[in-house]
Amino acid sequence: MSEQLIISGGEKNDKYQTLLQQLPALMDEQVDNVANMSNLVAALKQTFGFFWVGFYRVQADELVLGPFQGPIACTRIKKGHGVCGVSWLEERTMVVPNVHEFPGHIACSDQSKSEIVVPLFKAGGLVAVLDVDSDEFATFDEVDKIQLEKILEWFSAYY
């Protein structure tokens, strides 16, 4: 795998393109999905400096904390609870410009102000969600939604 992650300047779309080109080199089909999830969240954290980025995985009737980068976080989330739980329930990406206005938002950190949660599908089923938190309001938009959905669709093969 490559040892150095190249981070482009410019608009965030440019950063996503540069990241996408390098992601295959960071993945390893021979190892378990924890290793690949770990490198994916690390590459996102390095590229964008997100406050918190990580996976919650479906385990029985709840989401359980997976590989992440950032401050400590809550371990379990029920279906329909918080932004992650609603994303799981409704099987869709949630873009939340102000977490204080989201009913039932789970505040793992009081520094978190906006959030995007993107589902990961494998063989037609939702197996995990990628949660990205920002310490500023309105960080995420349609560009993040499109690009993160694209990344997760591609990443599904390594999960």
- The residues binding ligand SME (CB under 6 A) are 52, 73-74, 77, 82-85, 105-106, 108, 112, 115, 131, 133
Taking the least distance from each CB to ligand SME, the nearer of 131 and 144 is: 131
Please list, in sequence order, all residues whose beta carbon lies within 8 angstroms of the beta carbon of residue 46, skipping any fewer than 6 positions away. Answer: 5, 7
Taking the least distance from each CB to ligand SME, the nearer of 45 and 105 is: 105
State the nearest-atom distance from the C-beta of 129 to ligand SME, in Å: 8
State the nearest-atom distance from the C-beta of 3 to ligand SME, in Å: 29
State the nearest-atom distance from the C-beta of 100 to ligand SME, in Å: 11
> Could you give the CA distance from residue 9 to residue 127 in angstroms, rounded to a whole number?
33
State the nearest-atom distance from the C-beta of 35 to ligand SME, in Å: 21
HEC string for 103-123: CCCCCCCCCCCEEEEEEEEEC
The DSSP secondary structure of 56-122, one letter per residue, reads EEEETTEEEEEEEESS---SEEETTSHHHHHHHHHTS-EEES-GGGSTT---S-TT--EEEEEEEEE
Taking the least distance from each CB to ligand SME, the nearer of 8 and 62 is: 62
Taking the least distance from each CB to ligand SME, the nearer of 16 and 52 is: 52
